[in-house]
Amino acid sequence: MTRTVSSTARVWWMVAATLVVIWLTHYVVVIQHEYAHSLMAWLTGIKDDPWRIDWGGTGIHNVLTLGNIDEDVDYDRALAAGHNTAAALTAMAGVVIGNGVFYLVARGFLGRPAVAGRPWVLYFLFWYIVHSVGNFYDYVPLRVFAGGDVKNFAAATGWSLWWIYGVAGYLTLWAVMDLYQKVLPRTLGAAGFDPVRAARAARAIVLILVTLVLFVLYGQPALEQSDPVSVFMGRTSLIVIPAVLIITWRRNVMSELPLPPAAARREQRTPLHDAAPDADTGSRSGLSQAPG
């Protein structure tokens, strides 16, 4: 009983701290994205100082979202000088290295017992993954036809934006589906959001916040673009929110959550341990009855 009460209290403390966790992990993901650009530009010779980036000012919008931050790389100058490969590598470094590589590392750690057994560490890592997926979604499909990283990459390589949209779009779709089908329920299960009935409300809050972060926070930049395609994508991102919640509600709020890795292993081993005493008892009873 004490353990259940303690687990419930921790769950609600985690929910209460969620907005702060979202903000902190968002900062980490955005900053490493920009520095991935900047470091690659320095390594390829089109920038002289890898640590110099434009932080975007002290306005409230930028302080909360880092929406105006920029890697401070002159792509037009690099392309005019014929440094197409350097420009292409720099443009792709933000999403591919700054977000993609670290996403894969974080996704791998998520299932480790050492992480799953530490609910707060797990929760921070989970939101880090949410923001990483959000960055994928922000660039492809939402802003693939807008100015920015994708267009700079296309200008440097000559690749069609439609090819980028098609190929990278499927990767983003996989990441979003994996987030809702595996990452979210496994995180909730390992963090103790089950089996306490009251935790269903907490699970619902987390699901709603994940969806708002993914489709509103990362959909907002598309709405701020001047081209109609990006604006259409951004508005569609808002329209699909109810459908996403309906589709994912049962698995993440109502259904039994997956067991943490360590508990799942124990449960798999339990039948073997339980069977051994029965077999042993049967053999002993057979031996004791044999003389009679």
DSSP-H helix ranges across 17-112: 18-43, 60-65, 75-80, 84-93, 102-110
Q: Is 70 helix (H, G, I), strand (E, B) or coil?
A: strand
Asked if the structure places residue 288 within a domain, the reply is no
Asked if the structure places residue 115 within a domain, the reply is yes
What is the number of structural domains in the chain? 1
Asked if the structure places residue 31 within a domain, the reply is yes
Average of pLDDT values for 159-184? 98
Q: How far is CA 281 from CA 133, 184, 275, in A?
A: 54, 44, 10
Task: Kindly state the DSSP code that residue 160 receives in the 8-state scheme.
Answer: -
pTM of the model: 0.88
Write the single-letter amino acid at 247. I
Asked if the structure places residue 272 within a domain, the reply is no
Other C-beta atoms closer than 10 Å to the C-beta of 269 total 10
Whole-number Å distance between alpha carbons of 97 and 66: 19
Asked if the structure places residue 291 within a domain, the reply is no
Asked if the structure places residue 242 within a domain, the reply is yes
Asked if the structure places residue 273 within a domain, the reply is no
More confident residue, 38 or 256: 38
At 5 the pLDDT is 53
Domain containing 152 equals: 2-265
Using an 8 Å Cβ cutoff, are 127 and 25 in contact? yes
Tens of pLDDT along 225-258? 999 999 999 999 999 999 999 999 999 999 999 8
- Which residues, 6+ apart, have CB-to-CB distance to 248 below 8 Å? 180, 184, 207, 211
Picking from 121-130, 141-150, 243-252, 253-262, which range would have the lowest pLDDT averaged per residue? 253-262
Whole-number Å distance between alpha carbons of 41 and 78: 10
User: Could you tell me the two tokens for 258?
Assistant: 């997956």
Asked if the structure places residue 271 within a domain, the reply is no
Angle at 233 between CA 227 and CA 236, to 5 degrees: 140
Whole-number Å distance between alpha carbons of 41 and 79: 13
Average of pLDDT values for 5-22? 90
Using an 8 Å Cβ cutoff, are 119 and 18 in contact? no
Q: Is 192 helix (H, G, I), strand (E, B) or coil?
A: coil
At 270 the pLDDT is 53
Tens of pLDDT along 53-80? 999 999 999 999 999 999 999 999 999 9
